[in-house]
Structure 1
Amino acid sequence: MDVRLEDDGVVLRQWSEQDLDQLVTLFDDAEMAYRLPVATPFDLAAAEAYLNAARRAEQAGARIYLAVTDGDDLPRGEVMLNLATGTIGYAIGPAYRGQRLASRALRLMTEYAHRVIGLPTVYLEIEPDNAGSMAVARSGGYRPTGDEPVFVEDKGRRYALHRWSHTEPAPPAVT
């Protein structure tokens, strides 16, 4: 599935082999390793394995992984849609934060999930101490569901993920 989304000064596009060095730059970071289920250290071999796993998931129709760019084609982060659960994940490299890239990418992917994929509700899973991610969620119109958190274990760390949701607005009633 070849997906390219563009609006509000952000372009979401497929990852390519030319992005491997930039994947290392983005994901070989202590905070990224702490928050994301990625290899640590995240070197070129890890980037190749990540890209291959992403492509297999896309070919299986399970997930969509898109590089977040601001139109100059340099990946500054990633946004991912899990098609089975309707869950979106996003990450922006530390050097590129503070530019509203995550908020703009989340809005684009949310709209795509609703309008193209046809998901009436889309979800995020956020740790309760991740204030930046919660701010991005709020800016995208997401609200906490109030559901019990899901506990995950990764790299020896056990943590809670709280669910946030975005429901597609109902079309206006025809009279």
Structure 2
Amino acid sequence: MTLRPLASDDQGEFLDLVSASEDLHRPWMSLPSTPQQFEAYVARYEKPDEESWLVCVRSTGVIAGMVNINSIIRGRLQSGALAYAAFAPTAGQGYMTEGLDLVVRYAFEQLRLHRLEAQIQPDNHASIRLIRRVGFRHEGDSPEFLFIDGAWRDHERWAITNTMIDIRPTAPHPTLPER
């Protein structure tokens, strides 16, 4: 697997994959499904506190999924919130495990974050299995946490820190206070 940043040129393939994956994603998440929504989505991830990565099959370049690092907060927190989705044509082949692992390592080694969180609806068993495989721990529950598919949905909170996995040592991010 390889990662590449989401770009405007991905619109056609991305929208086709979202359409093909509608049954897989509902009611767990909603991705952009029109050219206008896609343009706004790309613009969001051009901001410095947001990142969007496409998980691609190395041999073909086909997009297998996506992982976003949202709401990156610096200073004492050094944290980001993950959102991710597999696409139906390649779902269930292990691509997202490898892709999510690559994004976690990138977040800790390159962005120098300390913590990543994922909020998952309790009945989304595939997502919970994925996040566990990558090494996240369950930290609690958040009733009516996110508005998804027309309603406020309960979520489980999952997190991982850079001390929980074997990564190469990096200097703290310059925004981390000394004390």
Q: Do they fold alike, i.e. is TM over 0.5?
A: yes
Please give the alpha-carbon distance, in whole angstroms, between the structure 2 residues aligned to 1:107 and 1:150: 28
Q: Which amino acid aligns with 2:136?
A: Y
Given candidates 54, 67, 73, the residue that maps to 1:79 is: 67
- 1:32 and 2:25 equivalent? yes
Please give the alpha-carbon distance, in whole angstroms, between the structure 1 residues aligned to 2:146 and 2:39: 25
Please give the alpha-carbon distance, in whole angstroms, between the structure 2 residues aligned to 1:150 and 1:65: 25
Given candidates 57, 61, 65, the residue that maps to 2:52 is: 65
Q: Which amino acid aligns with 1:11?
A: T
Task: Specify which structure has the higher proportion of helix.
Answer: 1
How many residues matched?
156
Please list every run of at least 4 consecutive aligned residues from structure 1 whose deviation after the TM superposition is greater than 6 angstroms.
none
Q: Which amino acid aligns with 1:99?
A: Q
- 1:23 and 2:43 equivalent? no
Please give the alpha-carbon distance, in whole angstroms, between the structure 2 residues aligned to 1:52 and 1:61: 11
Task: Rate the CA distance shift 1:30–1:45 in 2: closer, same or farther, 3 A.
Answer: farther
Question: Higher relative CO (CA 8 A, sep ≥ 6), structure 1 or 2?
Answer: 2
Query: 3-state DSSP class of the match of 1:152?
Result: strand
Residue by residue over 1:89-123, the C-alpha shift from the partner in whole angstroms, topping out at 9 and shown as x without a partner, is: 11111111111111111111111111222222211
Question: Which ranges in structure 1 are unaligned for 5 or more consecutive residues?
Answer: 1-9
Deviation at 1:147, TM superposition (A): 4.8
Task: Rate the CA distance shift 1:64–1:145 in 2: closer, same or farther, 3 A.
Answer: same
Please give the alpha-carbon distance, in whole angstroms, between the structure 2 residues aligned to 1:144 and 1:62: 25
Please give the alpha-carbon distance, in whole angstroms, between the structure 2 residues aligned to 1:158 and 1:47: 24
Deviation at 1:161, TM superposition (A): 1.6
Which residue is 2:108 aligned to? 114
Identical residues among aligned pairs (%): 24
Please give the alpha-carbon distance, in whole angstroms, between the structure 1 residues aligned to 2:144 and 2:108: 24
1:152-163 counterparts in 2 under 5 A?
152-163=146-157
Please give the alpha-carbon distance, in whole angstroms, between the structure 1 residues aligned to 2:6 and 2:110: 20
Question: Which ranges in structure 2 are unaligned for 5 or more consecutive residues?
Answer: 74-78, 167-179
- 1:131 and 2:125 equivalent? yes
Contact 1:144 1:165 in 2 (8 A): yes
TM-score by length of 1: 0.78
